Amino acid sequence: MAHSSAERFVCEIMSKNDASHDSSHVIRVRNLALELAKEEGLTSDSSLSVIELAALLHDVDDHKYVESSEQNRAKEFLDDEGIDNDTKHRVLSIIKSMGFKEQLANGAVDQSPELAVVQDADRLDAIGAIGIARCFTYGGSRNHILHDASILPVLDGMTKEEYTRKDRRHTMINHFYEKLLKLKDLMKTEAGRKRAEKRHEFMEAYLAEFLQEWEGFA
């Protein structure tokens, strides 16, 4: 019952987001996380419940769309649904730890199998054909520059503060080099790594074609 309520909840509150972070994104992440869980042997009802709730709720407090004063919606939902304390703690811990910006701040952290599955599913949805579409959808919604060869990507040593700075000069193409192309090597599950290889190769081919066309060589 809680999972159905969570799906309705996120569909309602994320309806105002652009299509890069709408309810379709979290539904894909939920479906993929459950598939990865099956392949990784996470079959207990407890694990699957935590995985599904965390996947559905992972973006409801996203700082890009929600003011900091409002960033308690996941906890409030779990409280309202009467979710037991152990499940609630595990779900909220996954949501807090899974973001790319958190890895920039804290490095690799010890992860529960449930966290690894949900994190991999979310990162898989950021790469490949869907990832390319989401990158340009989000960038377009924020009037980001498509490409400017004079604005170099930050390839190493980027901090959480720099990554989240709203006044930073960056481009949609640089986002591939600063984040998306790094995600393949950050996968935590074998099932995630297998899928990431294909999606990563697709992005590399796309970028090569894009840069040739940008210069008028293709």
pLDDT tens-digit profile of 167-203? 677 899 999 999 999 999 999 999 999 999 999 999 9
Average pLDDT value for the chain: 91
In the block, residue with structure tokens 């599913």: 121
CB atoms within 10 A of CB 22: 18
Cβ atoms of 103 and 186 within 8 Å: the answer is: yes
Q: 41-50, 139-148, 180-189, 209-218 — which is least confidently predicted?
A: 209-218
Nearest residue to 145 (alpha-carbon basis) of 171, 167, 166: 171
Report the CATH number that the domain containing residue 70 is assigned in CATH.
1.10.3210.50
Question: What is the DSSP-derived secondary structure letter of residue 213?
Answer: H
Look up the domain containing 52 and give its range: 2-214
Nearest residue to 120 (alpha-carbon basis) of 201, 194, 43, 203: 194
Between 127 and 1, where is the model more confident?
127
pLDDT, mean of residues 144-157: 90
Helix axes 2-13, 23-39, angle to 10 degrees: 140
Between 104 and 69, where is the model more confident?
69
pLDDT, mean of residues 204-218: 91
pLDDT for the residue numbered 84: 96
> What is the domain count for the chain?
1
Residue 71: pLDDT band by 50, 70, 90 thresholds?
Answer: confident
Whether pLDDT at 41 is above 70: yes
What are the tens digits of pLDDT across the range 88-134?
999 999 999 888 766 654 555 557 999 999 999 999 999 999 999 99
Distance of CA 150 to the CA centre of its chain: 28
pLDDT for the residue numbered 61: 93
pLDDT for the residue numbered 217: 77
**pTM of the prediction?**
0.92
pLDDT for the residue numbered 216: 87
pLDDT for the residue numbered 8: 96
pLDDT for the residue numbered 207: 97
